Structure 1
Amino acid sequence: MDKKKGSWESSGCEKGGISRLFANSAHMAKELFSVEEKNDRPRNFALSPLSIDLVLHMLAAGLKGNTLEQMLKFLESESRDEILSKSRNMMDVLDTLSSNEGENDNVLCMVNGIWVDEHCPLIESSQPDESEPSYMEQPNEPSYMDQILIKIFKPLEWWTKLTHGLTMHQKDSLKTLFPTGCLIKSQDFFLANALYFKGMWDSEHIFDEALTDSDERYFYTLDGEKVSASFMTSVQKYHYRSFDTFKVLKIPYQKRVHGKFSMYFFLPDSQYGLPNLLEELSGHPQEDYFDLEEVKFEELWIPKFDFSYNFDVAATLKKNGFPSMEDSKDFSKMVKIRRGVPNFSTNMFQKVVIKVDEKGTEAATVTDFDFPRSARSKLMNFVADHPFMFMIKEENSGLIFFMGSVLNPSL
């Protein structure tokens, strides 16, 4: 990545920063798992850490007062100026990565957006509407819409990029990203973003579709049941490493003109090891999780999966110190607040759609065995026949675009 334009080092991913971002992402995954394990039928879940981080920076850039102080602490930043600097660099990096010129089947697009109630419009210029008194204290400061939203986060530009080059089927699928009922009249303020990724497996790491379902295979769930599933397999070499209680496998996507993407699979050794794995990754992250060696497997089986997941981001982050954001005065850099509006309601949701098969991955966002094991052979095995975690990561920047867990590929 060009350090003069959009160096991710200045955006918080300096040495050691990747581990922190990975730990925060794993912590969110752990929170989502804790919700799902209480359900009678736990669902597969996924989230986009990058998408959430982007929206939080977009929000923090327009805050003030105590809410800003809480958000700075949450984002581990010293000042609003630091938030703006990180946001500029973040968007420069993403602008480069999302350039799809010269790409064939690989697509990366993103859009940012804000919706507000008509009674609390965005501040469109540096001069407030004097006919409607507000809480804005510095009328000559740069406006949130002109100087921050448009110049840094570029919502109109990103929307053009999001739809450019996509097929009608892909454009229609984007309509399903927003959770049902997320835009309702009772809400004063709504932040949203959409991220679309399509990557084909690298030609040296493809799966033979003829071998899928060549024989019946089962996936063993956390409740002790087994379900039939379609498993992909390959005789190619893959990057891999075994740790104390889990294994890591990397599958690269076709190289892009800008960016190098891979999918990682974190497989617990135990059928019931996913909770301990999420605890380990959120509490003791290590950068050598991604320091893998190329090996050839005796057995390699990964289930195909295709699911969607939506959740309340704010509720998920609350245990980690996410601010309540109720004081309307603290939003006055962003929107015009009418007198007599003491409190403000905010909502932040995310929905992720992901599909993994023999050809590659398409993802978007707007979160005991019946038989004994045989003796280990000298060759490595990677049989993902029980709950595991996955991640889509850009190698140069360290950005984590998607993360989630498969608890039952048949759902």
Structure 2
Amino acid sequence: MDLQEAMKKQNDVALLLAGKVIPVVAKNSNFVFSPASINVVLTMAAATSEDERVRSLILSFLRSSSTEELNAIFRQIASVVLVDGSKRGGPKIAAANGVWMEQSLPDDPSMKDLFENFFKASFAQVDFESKAEEVRKEVNAWALRHTNGLIKDLLPQGSVTDLTTKIYGNALYFKGAWKNKFDKSMTEHKPFYLLRGNSVSVPFMRSYKDQYIKAYDGFMVLRLPYRQGSDDTNRNFSMYLYLPDKKSEFDNLLERMTSTPRFLDSHIPREKVEVGEFRIPKFKIEFGFEASRFFNDLELNVSLYQKALIEIDEEGTEAAAATALVFSGCKAPVVKRVDFVADHPFIFLIREDKTGTVLFAGQIFNPSKSSSA
């Protein structure tokens, strides 16, 4: 098995997820979600399900050849990407997995061992039949605790019932400082142009330092690296902004990103250029959705809930996401000087550059709006 090739396939799946979800729940609105978090819960479900249909459908959806391949990807991401680097001066990263299983189901020690020792997941046998609401609140409290208090009410009322058999959960937290922080005194309000033609006034961060920017056919890409740890040579994190040349080309850019294999790896600015006018907006957005109804490929009797939040400012980025998979049913070329002015809708993502793992992705239509749902 070629692990690097397998991970590249998962990066394509990350954009495939965006292509499925955005047109349905976030058309022309601010949106953020975590492909990495969704991937983890689906991997746990595929690896531990006794239902061959569940495994095969998840493998097909994730475009993976086997659960062994998914497990190998998980092991690589957990041991390299999702390791906290804050003690060495790098990004603060926290990831947690959890499993809640109906207590009346047959006890399988090997499955419990896989959860606790491989996926490092907390494992609880619970009483969904008579205490479904208590379990829902327990899962929400778990998500809140493992996202530094940012993700509230992951599972809405009614999402857990006496027919629920198991819940797979993942929580992800990221806080990174820019390698080159922005000078707060240079931040100023400027117009941000919306798709419908009008504009809103939002705070823009500005800089005169050289930046990683490259122009492509119809769009530009900006890479903003985060500060690495003092001895962190195995990884590096960056935020990418994909800015269409024209506001009217946003949908075309999204279509290209979500339908072109290896798009992310093929559009990476690798050299700094001298900037002329350079500004990007500060923003804070959050988004929650129930995803399984958009994944027709799966056709599983499940509900997949996710909430995510991201905020960027002059210091860096703070982001968090939590995902819960709920099973229910009956019991049984370099330019010397360029401008990069992100004053109209754009696409962004945070990824670890060496593996290509996408932690968060989203779009900005109006930075003055703090949340959508």
TM range (shorter): 0.7 to 0.9
SS of residue in 1 equivalent to 2:12:
helix
Contact between 1:51 and 1:195, CA under 8 Å: does it hold in 2?
yes
1:364-379 residue pairs with structure 2 within 5 A?
Answer: 364-366=320-322, 379=337
- 1:75, CA displacement in angstroms? 2.5
Whose strand proportion is higher, 1 or 2?
Answer: 2
The equivalent of 1:220 in structure 2 is 193
User: What amino acid maps onto 2:341 in structure 1?
Assistant: V
Contact between 2:33 and 2:307, CA under 8 Å: does it hold in 1?
yes
The equivalent of 2:136 in structure 1 is none
TM-score (norm 2): 0.80
CA–CA distance in structure 2, aligned partners of residues 37 and 171 of structure 1 = 23
The equivalent of 2:168 in structure 1 is 191
Deviations 1:113-162 (A, max 9, x none): 122344447x342xxxxxxxxxxxxxxxxx2111x1112101249xxxxx
Contact between 1:237 and 1:297, CA under 8 Å: does it hold in 2?
yes
SS of residue in 2 equivalent to 1:222:
coil
In 2 relative to 1, CA 111–260 (structure 1 residues): closer, same or farther, beyond 3 Å? same
The answer for unaligned runs of 5 or more in structure 1 is 1-8, 126-142, 158-167, 327-345, 368-376
The equivalent of 1:163 in structure 2 is none
Contact between 2:292 and 2:304, CA under 8 Å: does it hold in 1?
yes
Instruction: State yes or no: 1:382 paired with 2:355.
Output: no
User: What amino acid maps onto 1:103 in structure 2?
Assistant: R
SS of residue in 2 equivalent to 1:230:
strand
CA–CA distance in structure 1, aligned partners of residues 367 and 178 of structure 2 = 20
The equivalent of 1:356 in structure 2 is 312
CA–CA distance in structure 2, aligned partners of residues 249 and 177 of structure 1 = 34
1:7-406 residue pairs with structure 2 within 5 A?
Answer: 11=3, 13-14=4-5, 17-18=7-8, 20-36=9-25, 42-63=28-49, 64-94=51-81, 97-100=82-85, 102-104=87-89, 106-120=91-105, 123-125=107-109, 143-146=110-113, 148-156=114-122, 173-174=149-150, 176=152, 178-181=154-157, 184-186=160-162, 187-202=164-179, 205-213=180-188, 216-256=189-229, 257-258=231-232, 259-284=235-260, 285-286=262-263, 287-318=265-296, 321=297, 323-326=298-301, 346-366=302-322, 379-406=337-364
Higher radius of gyration, 1 or 2: 1
Contact between 1:304 and 1:409, CA under 8 Å: does it hold in 2?
yes
Contact between 2:25 and 2:289, CA under 8 Å: does it hold in 1?
no
- 1:354, CA displacement in angstroms? 0.3
- 1:231, CA displacement in angstroms? 0.6
SS of residue in 1 equivalent to 2:222:
strand
In 2 relative to 1, CA 86–298 (structure 1 residues): closer, same or farther, beyond 3 Å? closer
- 1:86, CA displacement in angstroms? 3.9
Contact between 1:179 and 1:310, CA under 8 Å: does it hold in 2?
no
- 1:233, CA displacement in angstroms? 0.6
CA–CA distance in structure 2, aligned partners of residues 154 and 10 of structure 1 = 24
User: What amino acid maps onto 2:166 in structure 1?
Assistant: F
The equivalent of 1:130 in structure 2 is none
In 2 relative to 1, CA 182–261 (structure 1 residues): closer, same or farther, beyond 3 Å? farther
Report sequence identity in percent. 32
Contact between 1:72 and 1:78, CA under 8 Å: does it hold in 2?
yes
- 1:99, CA displacement in angstroms? 3.4
Contact between 2:146 and 2:171, CA under 8 Å: does it hold in 1?
no
User: What amino acid maps onto 1:352 in structure 2?
Assistant: A
In 2 relative to 1, CA 36–154 (structure 1 residues): closer, same or farther, beyond 3 Å? closer
RMSD of aligned C-alpha atoms? 2.8
- 1:65, CA displacement in angstroms? 2.2
- 1:379, CA displacement in angstroms? 2.7
SS of residue in 1 equivalent to 2:354:
coil
SS of residue in 2 equivalent to 1:397:
coil
Deviations 1:150-175 (A, max 9, x none): 12101249xxxxxxxxxx99965245
TM-score (norm 1): 0.73
Structure 1 range deviating more: 66-75 or 173-182: 173-182
CA–CA distance in structure 2, aligned partners of residues 101 and 198 of structure 1 = 9
Contact between 2:86 and 2:93, CA under 8 Å: does it hold in 1?
no
In 2 relative to 1, CA 52–410 (structure 1 residues): closer, same or farther, beyond 3 Å? same
- Aligned residue-pair number: 331
